[in-house]
C-alpha cells in the first residue's frame, strides 16, 4: 500500500530494495533519490513526478511502469525489462540506461541529454521531441521508432539499427557518428 511505501522511504531503507514485489505500487511524487531496486517487480508501478536522482534499477521487471515527469538525472537502469514503460517529459540527463528492453516505450519530450542507452532495444519507441543531445545510442535497435522532432545533436549512434524510423523534423546533426 501507499502507507507501506512511505514507511520504507521514511525508514531510510531505500538502498536495500532487493527481490521485492512492487507491482502496481504508487510511488508518485516521492523522493527516492539514491534508491537501489535490484531484481524487483515494478510492473505497472507509478513513479510519476518522483525524484530518483542517482537511483539504481538493475535486473527489474518494469513493464508498463509510469515515470511521467520524473526527475531521474544520473539514474542507472541496467538489464531491465521495461516494455511499454512511460518516460514522457522525464529528465534522465547524464543517466546510464544500457542493456535494457524498452520495446514500445514512450519517451515523448523526455530530456535524455548526455545519457547512455548503449545496446538497448528501443524498437517501436515513441521519442517524439525527445532530447538526445550528446547521448550514446551505440548498438541500439531503434527499428520502427517515432523520432519526430527529436534532437540528436552530437549523439553517437554507431552500429545503431534505424530501419523504418519516422524522423520528420528530427535533428540528426551527429557530427559523423552514424554508421
- pLDDT higher than 80, residue 88: yes
CB neighbour list of residue 135: distance below 8 Å, 6 or more residues apart:
112, 113, 114, 115, 116, 117, 152, 155, 156
For residue 174, name the pLDDT band (cuts at 50, 70, 90): low
Q: Could you report the per-residue pLDDT of 106-155, keeping only the tens digit for each?
A: 999 999 999 999 999 999 999 999 999 999 999 999 999 999 999 999 99
By 3-state DSSP, what share of the chain in percent is helix, strand and coil, each rounded to 5? 5, 25, 70
Cα–Cα distance for residue pair 153/99, rounded to 1 Å: 22
What is the model's pLDDT at position 9?
82
What is the model's pLDDT at position 179?
37
Q: Are 33 and 51 within 8 A, CB to CB?
A: yes
What is the model's pLDDT at position 16?
79
What is the model's pLDDT at position 132?
96
Q: Could you report the per-residue pLDDT of 6-65, keeping only the tens digit for each?
A: 888 888 788 878 999 999 999 999 999 999 999 999 999 999 999 999 999 999 999 999
What is the model's pLDDT at position 173?
74
What is the model's pLDDT at position 2?
79
Amino acid at each position: 500500500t501507499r502507507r507501506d511505501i512511505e514507511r520504507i522511504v521514511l525508514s531510510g531503507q531505500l538502498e536495500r530494495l532487493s527481490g521485492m514485489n512492487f507491482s502496481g505500487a504508487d510511488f508518485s511524487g516521492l523522493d527516492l533519490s539514491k534508491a537501489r531496486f535490484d531484481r524487483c517487480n515494478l510492473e505497472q508501478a507509478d513513479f510519476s513526478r518522483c525524484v530518483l536522482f542517482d537511483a539504481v534499477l538493475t535486473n527489474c521487471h518494469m513493464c508498463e511502469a509510469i515515470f511521467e515527469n520524473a526527475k531521474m538525472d544520473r539514474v542507472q537502469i541496467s538489464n531491465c525489462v521495461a516494455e511499454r514503460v512511460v518516460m514522457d517529459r522525464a529528465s534522465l540527463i547524464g543517466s546510464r540506461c544500457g542493456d535494457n528492453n524498452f520495446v514500445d516505450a514512450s519517451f515523448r519530450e523526455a530530456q535524455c541529454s548526455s545519457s547512455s542507452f548503449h545496446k538497448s532495444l528501443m524498437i517501436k519507441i515513441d521519442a517524439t521531441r525527445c532530447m538526445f543531445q550528446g547521448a550514446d545510442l551505440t548498438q541500439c535497435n531503434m527499428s520502427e521508432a517515432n523520432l519526430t522532432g527529436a534532437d540528436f545533436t552530437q549523439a553517437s549512434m554507431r552500429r545503431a539499427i534505424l530501419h523504418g524510423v519516422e524522423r520528420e523534423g528530427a535533428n540528426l546533426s551527429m557530427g559523423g557518428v552514424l554508421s
